[in-house]
Amino acid sequence: MKKLIEKKEVIEKKYEDNIMEYLTNHESSQLIIPKSKLEKKVIKELLLKYSNFLSGNTKELLDSFIGKEEIKIDINKNMRSKNPWKNRIGTYQIGEFGFTEYADTLLKQLDTEDRELLYITARALIKLEGKTHLKDILDKISINDKMKKNNILTLVEMIDDDIRDVLDEIMKEENSLLNTLGLELYGERQYMEGIEWINKMIFSPEKEVRIAVLKAAHKLGDVGDEEYLKKILSLEVDKEWEVRAFLAKFLINVKNTEAINSLIRLIKDQNWLVRYNAANSLGNQGERGLNALINLLNSEDKFARDKAKEMIEKEIIFHKLFSNLDESLKNKLLYELKIDMSGGEE
């Protein structure tokens, strides 16, 4: 046994560099033809070893050299193994090599308690069949929060198909994680059907759902619906600072008096992130927003004064907007900030 291991090590050293050259440059001529069954076996093992990190055309090259049946034998061994790492490798290989006949096995594997294996399984299913099993995946991972939301969103990004039908299904579920995911995905994919669900979910008792409402609204932008905007603006008094912070961020897209008035109130919030987002949004409201910031320089609220001054003094506002202001607003700005254009601040 020891001699066999030593022989395999010698063969690995002999072929490994050539195999890496083959895999990276797709030059089959770089491969030395094996001279024995043992050499052939070692080469196949090396190819399978590196196949876990490769994709695309390289997979086709591996198929042609190793053969699909040989790869499946390796996958079956990994899937039957009691070693969780081998299970993960086998699952990954299924997705990368596109073996759709394993789809049912992967669907059953969604019940696993191994969170890493769950992610790899979901990824493999999506690689195999796109959105076909997306609802099954989302249902399974929403149980006991088996997967972090960002990981789920990363998986869904792999799907090029239109998933509006799946989102409509999960929004009808009484599951806050699924509702949160659905809302964010409506926004990320710019599906205007999300507005209906924003209106329905805006007063959800779940903080995360209300935040998702605002994230979706931010991505979809100002849709020109006054009643819709009125509902969103009502979150200005939400008890959760995170919700108010996302509202202030959303309002960067809304260029009207109601938005500016709401931001003026939010810039006096006790939470620093709410103030920061409100100041940033006001700074992007053009001349009206800048005028509102200038007026806040005389506010009795120290928080509001400080954030307004900080925002006005930022180069992005001063240099980009200053030259376009009318003379009265320009003079007001110079007076309030006590700036002497000929010699800097007084």
Please give the pLDDT value at position 243. 97
Long-range contacts made by residues 15-23, C-beta under 8 angstroms, separation at least 24? Answer: 15/39, 15/42, 15/43, 15/46, 16/46, 19/43, 19/46, 19/47, 19/50, 20/50, 22/61, 23/47, 23/50, 23/54, 23/58, 23/61, 23/62
The answer to whether position 198 is within a domain reads: no
pTM tops 0.85, yes or no: no
Q: Is residue 223 part of a domain?
A: no
Per-residue pLDDT of the chain (346 residues; tens, 9 = 90+): 677 777 777 777 777 777 666 656 655 545 556 667 777 777 777 666 665 555 555 566 566 666 678 788 889 999 999 999 999 989 998 998 889 999 999 999 999 999 999 999 999 999 999 999 999 999 998 887 788 889 999 999 999 999 999 999 999 999 999 999 999 999 999 999 999 999 999 999 999 999 999 999 999 988 888 899 999 999 999 999 999 999 999 998 888 889 899 998 998 898 989 988 998 888 878 777 777 878 787 778 777 777 777 777 764 445 555 555 566 666 665 556 555 444 444 4
Number of domains in the chain: 1
Examine residue 249 and state whether it is found in any structural domain, yes or no.
Answer: no
The domain that holds 345 is classified in CATH as 1.25.10
Q: Is 241 helix (H, G, I), strand (E, B) or coil?
A: helix
SS (H, E, C) 179-233: HHHHHHHHHHCCCCCHHHHHHHHCCCCCHHHHHHHHHHHHHHCCCCCHHHHHHHH
Q: Does residue 270 lie in a domain region?
A: yes
Please give the pLDDT value at position 299.
78
pLDDT at 106: 96
Q: Is residue 31 part of a domain?
A: no
Block residue for tokens 């506002």: 317
How far is residue 269 from each of residues 147, 276, 291, measured CA to CA in Å?
34, 10, 19
**In angstroms, rounded to a whole number, what is the distance separating the alpha carbons of residues 56 and 69?**
19
DSSP assignment letter at 133: T
> Is 310 a domain residue?
yes
Q: Which residues on neighbouring strands pair with residue 232, listed in sequence order?
A: none
Token duo for residue 157: 């990004």
Burial status of residue 332 (CB atoms within 10 A of its CB: 0-12, 13-18, 19 or more)? middle
- Is the residue at 340 inside a domain? yes
| Cβ density class 31-48: b for 16+ within 10 Å, e for less | beeeeeeebeebbbebbb
Do 67 and 43 form a contact (C-beta atoms < 8 A)? no
pLDDT at residue 296, rounded to an integer:
80
Q: What DSSP string runs through 264-280?
A: HHHTT-SSHHHHHHHHH
Give me the domain span that covers residue 295: 258-346
